[in-house]
Amino acid sequence: MRYSQTIGKTLKEAPKDETSKNAQLLTRAGYISKEMAGVYVFLPLGLKTLNKIVEIIREEIVAVGGQELQMTALQNPDSWKKSGRWGDDVVDIWFKTKLKNDTEIGLGTTHEEPLAALMSRQINSYKDLPSYPFQIQTKFRNEVRAKNGLLRTREFLMKDLYSFNKDEEELDVFYGKVTEAYFKIFSRAGIGEQTYLTFASGGTFSKYSHEFQTVCESGEDTIYIDRKKKIGINKEVLTGEVLADLGVNKEDLEEVRAIEVGNIFKQKTRFSEPLGLFFTDEEGKRKPVIMGAYGIGPARLMATVVELFGDDKGIVWPESISPAKLHLVGLNLEDEGTAEIAETVYKTLMQNKLEVLFDDREDATAGTKFSDADLIGIPYRAVVSRKNGTKIELKKRTEEKSELLTLEELLQKIS
């Protein structure tokens, strides 16, 4: 990728209406562009990072048996009326619109209802269970106030996995597997250490649901964590009974701010019964299918990483989700010899299948290029300049010291 041709210019100043760190940095660095409050375009660099997060999630969800499909944004009211979630008084974040014949339809805020309806045509016997469909799909939520950049938006990608099981024991086993898969996802994305399995209210159907909360000063939520036991508790369930349940002492708890990066629910028969999702068990009895739902918002995860690791110079990406592995800065490119060396380095890295962002601008100063590299936040910065000759100066985004390497040494170092 040549920076001179990339869509997404860096900005000195963040737009005034962006107050969150993630929106400020991602906008300034050219990853996103605001279409309206809570609605963001992903520019090429932003889409690369988003897709890497999506790919990590997809791999781990497929590994626990997920089957990918794609539901629709436009929603037929029928299934939502059956579950009682069509009314704006019940679900206050619907976007609704109309067909030409004046039929009111909705934009999917989530997909339990249409999926349960769909699965009722797929599942008949216990032999059709278990089943674990998931999708990476756009949700629409009419938030009164969209805020905090990519943390709370009106249109966003979501990985939503649903489980369909024959009984609660089988659900519990799968729920445990997804919990592990989620920790793998958050670890691979670089926020495993800061992320706590957090006990939240389970609503009418379960004692608990679980949130994955990433401890971060700018988080919207307040939770209580036991750092040693790596357990988090939501305020709403912070009772003596719950502490006893979890074997946690109140004095070990610390109040922290956190961002919810994932959640998992046991929905049991909440949607299967009203949507007519039943199966015949081994004894010939008709029973409702037991459901669970498991969500992660890839863009929210992206924003969390920016909030957590971004410093006063800009973004700091973990290697796994950086838009590129290396930021190649070409200096003194007006100098033919130096330009040639820079081109050779760029092409060699590309031939070695390394993802490189090459700052090939002729009209930017060294200072601008360095501060842009810090802002963009790619893990390694390699500088080709007149001074360095055929050597390349390699520096990590998070370190001050650099080293002069030959092209061969560079390749070895970062491959």
Interface positions with its own copies (CB under 8 A):
4-9, 33, 35-36, 39-44, 46-47, 50, 67-76, 95-100, 105, 107, 114, 118-119, 121-122, 127, 131, 133, 138, 140, 142-144, 154-155, 363
Q: Which is nearer to its own copies, 106 or 310 (CB)?
A: 106
- Min separation Cβ 97 and its own copies, Å: 5
Q: Which is nearer to its own copies, 71 or 238 (CB)?
A: 71
- Min separation Cβ 45 and its own copies, Å: 9
3-state secondary structure of 7: coil
Closest Cα to residue 152, out of 203, 93, 88? 93
- Min separation Cβ 36 and its own copies, Å: 4
d(CA 189, CA 187): 5
d(CA 212, CA 220): 13
Q: Which is nearer to its own copies, 72 or 239 (CB)?
A: 72
Q: Which is nearer to its own copies, 74 or 90 (CB)?
A: 74
- Min separation Cβ 162 and its own copies, Å: 11
- Min separation Cβ 407 and its own copies, Å: 26
Q: What is the largest CA-CA distance in the chain?
A: 82
212 sits in which H/E element = strand 208-215
233, 221 Cβ separation under 8 angstroms:
no
d(CA 88, CA 31): 34
277, 271 Cβ separation under 8 angstroms:
yes
263, 212 Cβ separation under 8 angstroms:
yes
Q: Which is nearer to its own copies, 7 or 244 (CB)?
A: 7
Could you tell me the two tokens for 228? Answer: 């040693």
Q: Which is nearer to its own copies, 34 or 184 (CB)?
A: 34
- Min separation Cβ 384 and its own copies, Å: 21
